[in-house]
Amino acid sequence: MHSLKICPLSADNDSNVSCRMRKSFIGVAMSFFSIDKKIRCIVWCVFVSGALLFPQAAGSGTVGSAQNETLITQGVPPVILSFKYKKGDSYRTLSKVHEDVFVNSKKNHHAEIVTRISAKIVDVHTDGGGVCEATFMSSEDSTSSANGVHFSWGDEYKSVFTRSARGIYAIADIYFMPVVRDCPIFPETPVKPGDTWSAEGHEAHDLRRTFALQKPFTVPFTASYSYKGIVKNSDGRIFNVIDVQYNLYFESPKINVRQGDVSARTAELLNRPKITMGHSHQTLYWDNERGEIDHYHENFKIVIETYYGDTFTFQGTAEAEVTEFERVNDDSTVQKIQDSVAELGLEDVSVKKGKKGLTISLEKIQFLPDSAVLRESEKRKLEKIADILKAYKNDLLVTGHTALRGNEKARQLLSEERAQSVADYLIALGVRDSYHVFTQGKGAAEPIATNQTEEGRSRNRRVEITIMDE
């Protein structure tokens, strides 16, 4: 599904606007353009997270694999469409979103957003509903339309939710993912090509950082469905083709502001969306035998108007594919990589198992002072590491760490930038494409040595590369 997760490039093209400024939805004085990265974080993921919940889905198909096949409408028997869940089933899925962002009708930047979903069915209810535990890992690359300024960041979210066989969600207010919920919804009766139906759904936006709203900001919609028929891919698999469309129009509750009230809270309230509107059009390729969406594509446009009269427009496309992976988080693989590290003569490099997969830690990695620019000696080290990584197909997570120096915000930003610098070099070396490398920064929050000595601080200045298998 579509996403409005965008970079904080300024409306007045000020390239010095920091990503740390994204805590405000829209600056009161419009001195910068900054939409909270979590407002529409991973809107598309409802399709993936609710549908591809089975291990056999891995490698089952790619985006668009059936789009060029002939649609069959005649002689297709009626079918009951439903999600199917099995306790213990899991999946890994990758979504790609391409969107253009406009501020007051002027193009601000282009964003490419990639999100990896790792999910597992932990329980199945007697009514057929599945309880899912999921991790959403997202990264974004955005480029200013005015001056070409490039911006990248990554983030991670957890969620637990139940979805019925028809597609209806049950999820606590403490979770903000997935954003689009109760879509698709299937009828209880069989359908045949040409049949249509409608069902209520909603989007749940995260405005905690923006307005201190502790529950999702809910935008309702009515989705219209049409069962088009079936297609067969080259492997003989059959997909039910379903068209989904909905329009958005939601006015936030009216805000009464006392004359002369310029408090910070009043400013926050006025800064929130006044009207949210737009549309989404998706084509789903449904595998009813497995009870899952094999793939989909979408076109979307979302327009947000504020109480200050500014308009923000997001339009683009989305698609999804299954991510292949192999188990690497075991003692034998650790030993194998440790042997490779020793053979290559790599110093200050350790290998260990972790929660997300197998992690290669580059301690004492050197950048130019107070920057994310790699020294040439470290590039040579990464070239050797790249030879190790190329042996595995799994997604990569690059995590930056700093020593306990400077202020917390500066440390966090520097750790993110250094992670991205390493990721970019690995991509340039052909280890993975950009859709399969994620980044995050931890600042100085996870030291492995004391920060009281230079030796300890040097070890804490590290970058970890995780071969993910969760």
Residue ranges, comma separated, of all CATH 2.30.230 domains in the chain are 19-322
Per residue in 198-250, pLDDT (tens digit) is 999 998 887 776 556 778 888 999 999 999 999 998 888 899 999 999 999 99
Q: For the packed helices 408-428 and 376-389, what is the interaxial angle rounded to 10 degrees? A: 60
- Mean pLDDT score, 62-91: 80
- Kindly report the CATH class assigned to 331-468: alpha beta
- How buried is residue 260: exposed, middle or buried, by Cβ count under 10 Å (0-12/13-18/19+)? exposed
CA atoms within 13 Å, Cβ hemisphere of 135: 12
Per residue in 284-301, pLDDT (tens digit) is 999 998 888 888 899 999
Per residue in 315-363, pLDDT (tens digit) is 999 988 766 666 787 888 999 999 999 999 988 899 999 888 899 999 8
User: Whole-angstrom Cα distance, residue 155 to residue 135?
Assistant: 11
CATH for the stretch 19-322:
2.30.230
Q: What is the pLDDT of residue 458?
A: 87
Residue matched to tokens 């042996």: 391
Q: Which has the minimum average pLDDT: 120-124, 133-137, 139-143? A: 139-143
- pTM equals 0.68
Report yes or no: 228 and 193 within 8 Å, Cβ to Cβ: yes
Residue matched to tokens 């609710």: 50
Residue ranges, comma separated, of all CATH 3.30.1330.60 domains in the chain are 331-468
Q: What is the pLDDT of residue 6?
A: 34
